[in-house]
Structure formats: C-alpha cells, structure tokens
C-alpha cells in the first residue's frame, strides 16, 4: 500500500525511466512552472490593489484600524511570496512530484480564505479569487475531477468562515462601509453561501468543459497520424482509442480481453554500446518481432490483436482474440502464454551480438479492472513486480 501511494505521487518511479516517463516529467515541470508564473502575476495585482485600497480606506478610517485589519492578510501574502519563491528556485528539481500542482493550488485556496475572513467574511469580494484558481486547475491538472476537488475544498473553506462567524465559533472581522448585522442574519448568510457554491461549481463545470474541448482538439490533431515513425507500430494515441473501443465491445458481448505492457530491460545501455542509430535499429527489429509473434496465425496470436509503441522502450498489446478462441474471449492464461512467447521472441533478437530482455505486466478485463484507467494502472503494477523480481519475466495480478 505504501509503495502504491508513493508511486501515485511520482510522475516517474523507475530507476531507468523510459522516454515516455521523461516526456511526462517534462510536461509536469512545465505545468508547475505555469502555476508559478500565474501566481507572480496575481501577487503583483494584489499588491497594487492593496496599496490603492489602503489609501482609499485611510481617507475616512483611522489608520490604526486599517492596519489592524490588514496585518494577518499581509502575513499571508508574505507566505505566498516565500513559497512561490521556493517553488521558483526548486520546481525543475521537484517536477517529478505529481501532486506538486495540487499542493500549490491548495495553498492558494488557504490564502484566499484568510483574505476573505479578514476582509469582512460574508461581505468580502475576495472569494472571486477561488474561481481564478479553479480555472487554473482545470487547465493544468491532468484529470477533470481535479477542478471539482479544488471547488469542493474552496467551498468548505469559505463555509468555515461564513458559518463559523454565524455560529460564533470565530469572531467577525468588521471592515469599513459594511453592515455589522448581516453576518449574523441566517437568510443572508444562507443565500450568500448558496451563491458562492453556485459560482464555484459553475466555474468548475464551465472550465472543465472548455479545457476538455481544447484537449480533445489537441488529441484529434495528434491522432491525425496513428503510426509511430520509428517502429512502424501503431502509436500511443491509437492504443488508447483501441483500448476504449475494445473494452466497450467486450462489455457489450460479455467477453474478456487482456492487456500486456512490455518494457525492455536496460535498453539505455544498448545506445551506449551500439550508438543511438543502431539502438533505434534494434528497437525496430524488436518491434517487428513482437508484431510477428502477436499476429502469428499458427500460434496463439491473431491479426485482430493490437500492438502499439506505448512510449520510449515500452509496448502495449491488446489481446482481444486468439487461435483457440472461446465464446468468452481469450482468458488470462491465454494472454500469459502469448506474453511468454513475446518475451522469448524479444530475447532472441540480436544486433552485433547485443540484445535485451523484456519485463511484462498482464491483466484482463473485467477480471482485474472495470475501466481503462484502472486496467492500465493494474498492468503497470504487474510490470513493476516483474521489474522488482529481476526483470526478464511475465507478471500479472494472479501470477508471478
């Protein structure tokens, strides 16, 4: 459980990351950097606003009262400056931490809550900053529900302020030009809080729809070419589309399919020994051998199966059919037999007397998982066990 939690917090967890791991790591570093740049802009805007607002309040309000109200918000802004400076200095080194963006956005929501409380609670207009960070979350975080997660966290925080003041758990912070009694009026607090909820979750819905359409368009552009130019296999985008469609077909027909993730053990040393050009040649030879084995009509393979280059030195195989096809589709044992044949075939490929071995993770639908994300996660865990056991082997949820 601890290892699974640790891996979920990392973009790449392998000692020898594949090219796909490196690309994912670079993308996460880019997202972290984007959060930092946006925050500097917001801090600058808030700084200018605070100076102008302080001057406006000081015209009709005693300066000591104004300073009392802004002491804690000023400390919160200093906290923002400190942790954003820290992230600015270290984010390229901490980019492997997958939850770093979540932590930054959660800190931002906490600071906004402090600003809301010290600017009048239910009277405050600083709550609108929650919406800015929800929009940011929808744009940079990898899952749609992450924006709703931030909206829910913001709703809880602003609710603590509103209802805490109403029930007297925390004292109300009075600011100039506001009506004192409103924070203790049940109807006003209820209506105001319901409006906050509507705006927060409305922002999450609209922003996820917009960013989903943007990402869909990006995927459509990426999908315009479905063949990997280095290996001649289908590419990763095609794999994801095939996985989704095959799982829908299997669910409809009440049959099984299996997924095999293949990673070449220590392929980086091949590039060191042979050079990158010859290394790419060996990669193409291995890809061709995997394809021949999976599509072999005289063995356990079938031309209706799908072989893709998943990324770097990783391959993905969808086992939807086999030679001994049963009504329920290929069993996990069928997929394990095919994976073992692929493992042996990879070992037999040599270039200048240099070759590699392969580790594999095998899982099946619906036995191991009920959706594509879960199936991929289970396959990755099985692949991890194959690595941990020394590589050059096949592992699954039920077999080592």
For residue 167, what pLDDT band results from cuts at 50, 70 and 90?
very high
- The whole-angstrom separation of Cα 394 and Cα 330 is 17
Better-predicted residue by pLDDT, 8 or 265: 265
Cβ density class 85-116: b for 16+ within 10 Å, e for less: eebeeebeeebbbbebbbebbbbbbbbbbbbb
Domains, the chain, ranges and CATH?
2-222 (no CATH), 236-396 (3.30.70.270)
- Residue 76 C-beta-side C-alpha neighbours within 13 Å: 20
* pLDDT given at position 10: 60
Better-predicted residue by pLDDT, 275 or 19: 275
* pLDDT given at position 50: 79
Residue 366 preceded by cis peptide, ω within 30: yes
pLDDT tens figures, 80-114:
899 889 888 887 776 666 677 788 888 889 999 99
- Residue 134 C-beta-side C-alpha neighbours within 13 Å: 28
Summarize the confidence of residues 372-381 as an average pLDDT: 90
**Most confident stretch, 25-29, 51-55, 381-385:** 381-385
User: pTM of the predicted model, to two decimals?
Assistant: 0.52
For residue 327, what pLDDT band results from cuts at 50, 70 and 90?
low
Q: In this structure, what are the phi and psi dihedrals at residue 365, rounded to the nearest 5 degrees?
A: -110, 130
Across 21-30, 121-130, 147-156, least confident range = 21-30
- Helical axes 145-166 vs 186-222, angle rounded to 10°: 170
Range list of β-strands (E), the chain: 257-264, 306-311, 314-319, 358-365, 394-396
DSSP string over 286-346: HHHHHHHHHH-TTTT--TTSEEEEEETTEEEEEE---TT--TT---HHHHHHHHHHHHHHH
For residue 379, what pLDDT band results from cuts at 50, 70 and 90?
very high
Summarize the confidence of residues 346-350 as an average pLDDT: 92
* pLDDT given at position 399: 45
Pairing of strands 306-311, 358-365: unpaired
161 Rama class: left (phi>0) / alpha (psi -120 to 50) / beta: alpha
Residue 332, pLDDT > 80, answer: yes
Q: Does residue 338 contact residue 259 with C-beta atoms inside 8 Å?
A: no
Degrees (nearest 5) of the Cα angle 73, 78, 84?
125
Describe the strand order of the beta sheet including 394-396 as a list of residue ranges. 306-311, 314-319, 257-264, 358-365, 394-396
Summarize the confidence of residues 250-262 as an average pLDDT: 87
299 Rama class: left (phi>0) / alpha (psi -120 to 50) / beta: beta
């Amino acid at each position: 459980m601890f290892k699974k939690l640790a891996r979920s917090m990392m973009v790449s967890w392998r000692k020898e990351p594949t090219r796909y791991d490196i690309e994912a790591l670079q993308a996460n570093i880019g997202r972290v950097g984007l959060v930092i740049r946006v925050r500097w802009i917001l801090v600058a805007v808030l700084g200018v606003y605070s100076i102008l607002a302080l001057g406006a309040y000081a015209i009709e309000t005693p300066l000591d009262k104004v300073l009392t109200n802004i002491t804690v918000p000023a400390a919160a802004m200093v906290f923002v400056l400190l942790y954003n400076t820290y992230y600015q200095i270290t984010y390229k080194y901490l980019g492997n931490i997958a939850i770093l963006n979540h932590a930054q956005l959660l800190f931002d929501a906490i600071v906004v809550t402090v600003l809301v409380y010290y600017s009048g609670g239910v009277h405050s207009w600083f709550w609108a900053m929650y919406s800015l960070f929800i929009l940011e979350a929808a744009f940079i975080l990898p899952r749609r529900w992450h924006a709703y997660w931030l909206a829910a966290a913001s709703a809880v925080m602003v609710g603590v302020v509103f209802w805490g003041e109403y029930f007297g758990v925390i004292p109300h912070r009075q600011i100039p030009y506001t009506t004192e009694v409103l924070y203790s009026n049940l109807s006003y607090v209820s209506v105001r809080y319901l409006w906050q909820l509507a705006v927060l979750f409305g922002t999450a819905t609209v922003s996820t729809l917009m960013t989903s359409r943007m990402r869909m368009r990006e995927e459509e552009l990426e999908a315009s070419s479905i063949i990997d130019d280095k290996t001649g296999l289908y590419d990763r985008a095609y794999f994801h589309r095939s996985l989704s469609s095959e799982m829908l077909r299997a669910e409809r027909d009440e049959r099984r399919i299996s997924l095999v993730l293949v990673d070449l053990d220590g392929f980086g040393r091949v590039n060191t020994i042979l050079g990158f050009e010859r290394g790419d040649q060996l990669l193409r030879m291995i890809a061709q051998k995997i394809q021949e084995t999976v599509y072999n009509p005289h063995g356990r393979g079938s031309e209706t199966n799908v072989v893709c280059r998943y990324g770097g030195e990783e391959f993905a195989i969808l086992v939807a059919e086999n030679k001994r096809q049963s009504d329920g589709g290929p069993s996990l044992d069928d997929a394990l037999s095919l994976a073992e044949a692929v493992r042996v075939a990879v070992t037999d490929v040599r270039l200048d007397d240099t070759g590699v071995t392969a580790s594999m993770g095998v899982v099946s639908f619906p036995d191991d998982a009920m959706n594509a994300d879960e199936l991929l996660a289970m396959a990755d865990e099985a692949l991890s066990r194959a690595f941990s056991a020394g590589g050059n082997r096949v592992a699954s949820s039920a077999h080592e």
